[in-house]
Chains A and B, each alone.
Chain A
Amino acid sequence: MSKRGKFLFQSLEPRTPLRVVGLLVFLFCISLGSSSSYGDQIGDLVQSDWKAQFWRFLSLKDPAVRAALLGSATLGALCGALGSFIVVRRWALLGDTLSHAALPGVALGFLWSMKKDPWTIFIGATLAGIVGAALSSGIRRTTKLKEDAALGMTLASFFALGIALISMTQHLPDADKSGLEQFLFGQAAAMNDDDIRLILIAGVVVFAGLILFYKELLLTSFDPGFARSTGAPVKIAQHGLTLALSFSIVVSLQAVGVALVSALLITPASAAYLLTDRMKRMVWMSALFGAFAGVVGAFGSFLQTKAPTGPFIVMGATMMFALAFLLGPKHGWVPRRWRRWTQSQKIRSENLLKAIYQTLEKDEGGISDDGAAWLSILRRKKIPEKKLWKELKALERSGLVTVTGDRARPDIFFTPEGKRHAMEIVRNHRLWELYLTHSANFPADHVHDDAEKIEHLLGEEMVRRLEKLLNHATLDPHGRPIPSLEDLEESRSESELAPKSGAAGYQGTG
């Protein structure tokens, strides 16, 4: 391993994960405690009204509820944490393939022992998942077919095999064949002790694996080329992740079902991906969302014992995703829309301020001399009057201009605040034009459009440096004055002197 690679490895500290181990051990202890008293299944509980059921669920009085809750929350967290690696590696559809590929394994495991024994089913399903993964990668490597076709084919063929096997078991004379269909959509209420033990064991193993090999997984997920060059085991990480994936899928089958298990892998992790840019945080959030989805599913299963659990779990996960998608502070849809909207609002109002300033500068006054004439602004802006009027009113509301007179021929005055703001924009615009002609040798008639964009973005520090660079020039390339710092100061002191209602019209600057 190169020196840089080693440095990188050491810099990714693995301290926080220890907490999860503690948490899992704690959960495991609870499960051992509860499993002894675990008698009824959820289905045996007496039905009462909806609200009472809700409180009963929350109070965790029933051991059956505790067990289902523990099982589905743990596997939600497990799949969520693992899923974040799946999502960043763009393996989302591999999860779907593996879950469908596990079905013939479930059936074979059943046929092996002729009853619903979690252990043989677990082994059979894991093997089938691994064979499915190997087969689809084999198809991709040795034929012209692309990855999507290879995955889709494996998924459908294995699922067909599974359905064929399950329908064959229906004709068997002496098998206890109840409950095999539950693997299609999941039934958390039907989980027994062994299922929950299996989930917890898988949880501990997979979490331990994630924590121990976090650095390797991280490195190989984001930059396989660099990982290979540092000697990190790319291939092994890949196979290990596939193995962990099929483990977690298989233990989830009982609660979520073949058809929807991939949602538990993809959806919470996709939600977390929209909320954070840091991998470690993403893993935690995704585990949390997954656990929440599991709780929702357990509750659904508690309320409607006949209905399958899988869809409820998926609904819980999708709810989290929808929230993250819409409201996530950085990548969320609404905040981004909002940012874009406020930005365009700002630009629009600044442009209108500028237009008023320019009208006054050209001395195109209205009825009273020092107000800007509405008609010349209208001519200058070239947008419908109604729209411009709305923008003007918005400016008035934010205290930048005052409007007098009637709607037909209003006079527009700057407030001191508004005047300073307009001067800043005009200064930015003209300063930038001058900079482009002066320092970048642009012809004077080519600089306007560029300045039109940059005027809204220039910061105070940048302006100071431009002024200095251009020797505090007073005229722009087109011979119009550039408002300087002193002019701005002047308008500020004016604002202190002038009464609040008084409006400052145009004063020849420069």
Chain B
Amino acid sequence: MDFLEWIPAYDATAVWVDPWKMDFWGSLYVTLTGMFIVLSCGWVGVYLILRRLALVGDAISHSVLPGLVIALLIAGKVTSTAMFLGALVAGVVTTALIEFLHGASRTKPDAAIGVSFTFLFALGVILVNSFAGSIDLDADCVLHGELIHVAMEVFDPESVVTAFGVEWPMTLVRMAGVTVVTVALILVFYKELLVSSFDAGLAASLGYRPRWIHYGLMIMLSWVIVSAFESVGAILVIAMLILPGATAYLWVQRLPALLVLTTVFSPIISLGGYHLGVWLNCSIAAAMALAAAILFLITWVIEPKNGLIRQGWTRWKAFLSMRQAEVR
């Protein structure tokens, strides 16, 4: 077998039309779920980027695992309440642990993040493996998830919700609910988040309590992560958190514009990822993260004001004018 032969041939009809023709509803479920994940993660992610907390997002996306496992062990079965509480506790514990390690010793903040999340994640993996029989979690899935399961959920009558005369899979409905709540929360606390993200001192002087806002954001983050967990896994969720916001940040810098652009990106990433996954015959969640990365790469290169092409062009012109000046 030749190297590179493993890349499937590209056939436009097979990639873009067939999935919808053959299984319209399945494709719709997968892309909609993906869109909601990208949307909710992206909105929270915008604030992570602005507050330079991208790596705390990384940390929490790992450390929700033990919280989730312990909550599921206590609850005995997979329920939304248990998952929510587990994520909440895990988010608060991680944030507090990082602050404690950093504040009570001379450990630097980056090392504090690294030490605490690897510990919590390792704990989670050990728990998953020790109680693999009693909970419905799989260590590998924890890392990369499987979005395609959403499409199969409709075959299980227990995980189906009927609305508008159509059967919707539970995961999709839950993700839609999470997205609505996240967006609503961000809009309600828009001013507080805005001020505390850009000027913590001003926020404190206005009586906003930046610390509470920080913890609130971290709780929201862990909630979004834990909802997306099952579908995209711990590490791919970081892609959904950071990439849409970072791509938007290259185009615009105003907060409302960032949020709008992230919203616009979410269906693009979801659809692009779905079809990329169909073409390459690989994990759909990974393909969506890849689509987000490709979107970023394209933006990075072609963005008109600061893109790589523009930067190269400016440098080339400067070089030319310098040479002309030398000739004279």
Partners in one complex: yes
Within the complex, the shortest CB–CB distance from A255 to chain B, in Å, comes to: 14
Q: Show 12 A/B contacts (Cβ-Cβ < 8 Å), sorted by A.
A: A143-B306, A149-B52, A152-B57, A156-B235, A160-B239, A161-B286, A167-B282, A259-B235, A267-B114, A308-B125, A325-B107, A331-B106
Alpha-carbon separation in the docked complex, A131 to B172 (Å): 36
Interface string of A91-104 (1 = CB under 8 A from B): 11101100010000
Q: Within residues 142 to 189 of chain B, which ones have a CB less than 8 A from any CB in chain A?
A: 143-144
B268 at the interface (CB under 8 A from A): no
Known A-B contacts A142-B308, A142-B311, A148-B55; A157 and B108 likewise in contact (beta carbons under 8 Å): no
Q: Give the distance in Å from the alpha carbon of A90 to the alpha carbon of B6 in the complex.
A: 40
Contact of A156 among B62, B106, B283, B289 (CB under 8 A): B289
Q: Taking the complex as formed, is A318 at the interface, i.e. its CB lies under 8 A from any CB of chain B?
A: yes
Q: Does B80 contact A (CB under 8 A)?
A: no
What is the interface of chain B, defined by CB distance below 8 A to chain A?
A: 1, 3, 6, 49, 52-55, 57-58, 62, 101, 104-108, 110-111, 113-115, 118-119, 121-123, 125-126, 129-130, 139-140, 143-144, 235-236, 238-239, 241-243, 246, 249-250, 253, 277, 280-283, 285-287, 289-290, 292-293, 296, 300, 306, 308, 311
Binding site for B on A (CB under 8 A): 87, 90-93, 95-96, 100, 111-112, 114, 139, 142-146, 148-149, 151-153, 155-157, 159-161, 163-165, 167-169, 171-172, 174-175, 181, 184-185, 259-260, 262-263, 265-267, 269-270, 273-274, 304, 306-308, 310-312, 314-315, 318, 321, 325, 331-333
Q: Which of B125, B290, B292 contacts A164 (CB 8 A)?
A: B290
- Contact check, A318 vs B115: say whether CB atoms are below 8 A apart: yes
* Alpha-carbon gap, A260 to B123, bound state (A): 11
User: Which residues of the other chain, B, contact A267 by a CB distance below 8 angstroms?
Assistant: 114-115, 118-119
Chain B residue with Cβ nearest A163: B286
Q: Which residue of B lies closest to A316 (CB)?
A: B122
The list of the 10 closest CB pairs from A to B, nearest first, reads A160-B289, A263-B118, A156-B239, A157-B293, A314-B122, A311-B122, A266-B114, A163-B286, A152-B54, A167-B283
Bound CA span A266–B290, Å: 28
Central interface residue in A112, A148, A184, A310, by most chain B CB within 10 Å: A148
Query: A93–B110 contact, CB under 8 A?
Result: yes
Are B293 and A168 neighbours in the complex by a CB distance under 8 Å?
A: no
Are A157 and B115 touching (Cβ within 8 A)? Answer: no
Residues from chain B with Cβ under 8 Å of A111 in the complex: 3, 6
Task: Given A149-B54, A152-B54, A311-B125, decide whether A163 and B118 contact each other with a Cβ distance below 8 A.
Answer: no
Q: Which of A112, A156, A160, A321 meets B115, CB within 8 Å?
A: A321
A17→B55 CA distance, assembly (Å): 35
